[in-house]
Structure 1
Amino acid sequence: MTHLLNSLPPIASFPTLAVPANTSGAGGRTQTTSLQIASASRRSQDDDYHATLKALNSKGRFPRKSLGQHYMLNSEINKQLARAANVEEDDVVLEIGSGTGSLTNVLINCGATVLAIEKDPHMVALVRERFESSDRFKVLQEDIVKCHIRSHIFPMLESRNALNASSIRAKVVSNLPFNISTDVVKLLLPMGDIFSEVVLLLQEETAVRFVESSLRTSEYRPINIFVNFYSEPEYKFSVPRTNFFPQPNVDAAVVTFKLKQASDYPSVVSTKSFFSMVNSAFSGKRKMLRRSLQHICPSNEIERALEGAGIPTTSRPEELALDDFVKLHNIIARA
């Protein structure tokens, strides 16, 4: 384990963690205050720095760059993730990338039943061995992007719902590999029928883009339309890069996505054709919509649809909010 320890900062050098206060700023980003990380004596009782290294060393493993593996060394952040999702007794939680099980342990201690999806077979063996005595844990060796999540989550929810008067939905809490964040968001957000909220630790830049990207900026993209169509996103707190091993080149941040159910989605003629239109609009980002959408229908019809939606005929995609795209799509689809 010596070579791993030599790669890390001293245990007392963890920075202050920014956590949410009770007020929110513009764009859904929560104003933050500072929470001093617990003392070294408190941390020694937690599943963090040395526990992570011992777990990796026990399997002779070193984090794999190809899998985007950056292990959390600060247990307080894992606890903040669980709090952000309001994880409670008898919750069903999906965790993507369980790693050494440090976040898993926090979730189980909150009383949740955890389904972990882990791609690395060595980490699967590690957490399976670690939690073998727990009846609140199950791990699957699968690629989350290819996993049939519903077939695994539905049976767990059915057993809970049989004991409750009201239907409950699962939650997602994950320290996500940065390189699959957009794919995972696209996969999970339309699942409001089985998940109530998704809490992800993401690359800081990605987190800000999902929540705060504004009209008429280069960061405004189809993913912003997608995120707001299916959820209510909120930036919770930032996580400095020094809390990970190996240390990434960027900081991270936690975002919560409160998922909408189908009845709360914007009313569109066809979800598939709606997002096809949005993607087409942004494929020629600096082009006016009457040009970038002309493969759908003639330019003069696009102009009439824009006028009918109350949108200037010279508009470009980065100038339209979600509601504008919904109005435009419905007029074109019903023409």
Structure 2
Amino acid sequence: MNRKQTLDLLRKYDIRPTRSLGQNFLVDESVVVDIGKLAELGSDDLVVEIGAGVGGLTEHLARRAGAVCALEIDAHVLPALRAVLHGFSNCTIIHADALQVNLTDLVAAWPGQVKVVANLPYYITTPLIKKILIELPGCSALILMLQKEAADRILAPPMRRAYGPVAVLTACFGTASRKLKVPADAFFPRPNIDSVIIQVVRADQQFSIADWEEFHLFLERCFAHRRKTLANSLKNAGLSADQLLNLPAALARLELDPDVRADHLTHEQLAALYALLTIEL
């Protein structure tokens, strides 16, 4: 769907972009095509699209995937979205806040691969990415369009200011890379800054993490007090007494300095430390 088609649709259904929802509709067909190529869709794929809007991208995905679950929070755009997707029996529109949807249950019955495609508004980018990684660790790929600052947090390496729980979760999930810059003119209304598209591909040999939600909580505790040592941060953030007792031995087994800070550790080291602290040493 190009700019003219999108603007005509907005006028027809009297849709005014909602600033509080961070609504910026994608109106550049070439970007839609690029996203489709990055997703590498086939008939065995279920796509979970977060923020379907008026369906410009959704329609493109539906032509290539086995099924699409299109999540959209804004009731005002639903009539237009339903009209655009009327001829696609493989599309399910879900009117809901993606943060409140159980993504695990949503895809449980699908026998093939699951992929996530999303144009994420800035104000919920980090919570949504964490939710996707925690609830869909078996997802084969994520194609995310987001603002540069949010992408920096996802792709940050150790010892960088942006490095934190979401970067560690992403790295444990698979390989993340920045693929395309999307100019502000590709959207209506035009945002103040450009966006980027990142691709996250699930690792063939993914880390064996029994409970991704608990692992995320552990990471939040590790980075809760960034300027403190890892041990002090975990203690102040409420790590259990038994795990605190085992922490020195776990650090020693991994040949880590007892005064190391969380932001100096790689995702491999943090995952290994979590594993040691959740089994009997």
Q: TM-score higher than 0.5 here?
A: yes
Change (3 A) 1:150 1:325: closer
How far apart, CA to CA, are the structure 2 residues paired with 1:131 and 1:227?
Answer: 32
Q: Contact 2:49 / 2:118 at 8 angstroms: preserved in 1?
A: yes
Check if 1:257 corresponds to 2:200: yes
1:234 is matched by which residue type in structure 2?
Answer: S
Alignment of 1:67-146 (within 5 A): 67-89=21-43, 91-110=45-64, 112-146=66-100
Secondary structure, in 3 states, of the residue corresponding to 2:83?
Answer: helix
Taking only aligned residues, the RMSD between alpha carbons, in angstroms, comes to 2.4
* 1:205 maps onto 2:146 in alignment: no
Once the 2 structures are TM-superposed, how far is the Cα of residue 317 of structure 1 from its aligned partner?
1.0
Residues 82, 313 of structure 1: CA spacing in aligned structure 2 closer, same or farther, 3 A cutoff? same
Q: Percent identity?
A: 25
Q: 1:68 to 1:305 in 2, by over 3 A?
A: same
Change (3 A) 1:316 1:52: same
Structure (1 or 2) with the larger CA radius of gyration:
1
CA contact (8 A) 2:17 2:24 kept: yes
Describe the superposition over 1:152-210 as per-residue Cα deviations: whole angstroms up to 9, x where unpaired: 4344x2xxx4xxxxxx21222222223222222112223143x3211111112211321
Q: Which amino acid aligns with 1:170?
A: V
Aligned partner of 2:174 among 219, 226, 231: 231
Instruction: Report which stretch shifted further, 76-85 or 230-239.
Output: 230-239
- The answer to whether the 8 Å contact 2:61/2:68 transfers is yes
Q: 2:228 aligns with which of 287, 305, 314?
A: 287
Length-normalised TM-score, structure 1: 0.74
CA distance in 1, matches of 2:65, 2:277: 50
- Alignment CA distance shift 1:303-1:67 (3 Å): same
Structure 1 residue aligned with 2:216, among 275, 279, 285? 275
Aligned to 1:200, the other structure's residue is in SS state strand
User: Unpaired runs of 5+ in structure 1?
Assistant: 1-46, 162-167
Output one character per residue of 1:251-295: Cα deviation in whole Å (capped at 9) or x when no partner: 11111122358xx44345765554333222211111112322235
The 3-state SS of whatever aligns with 1:266 is coil
Amino acid aligned to 2:7: L
* 3-state DSSP of counterpart to 1:189: helix
For structure 2, the residue ranges without an aligned partner over 5 or more in a row are none
TM-score by length of structure 2 reads 0.87
Q: Give yes or no for contact 2:157–2:167 (8 Å, CA) kept in 1.
A: no
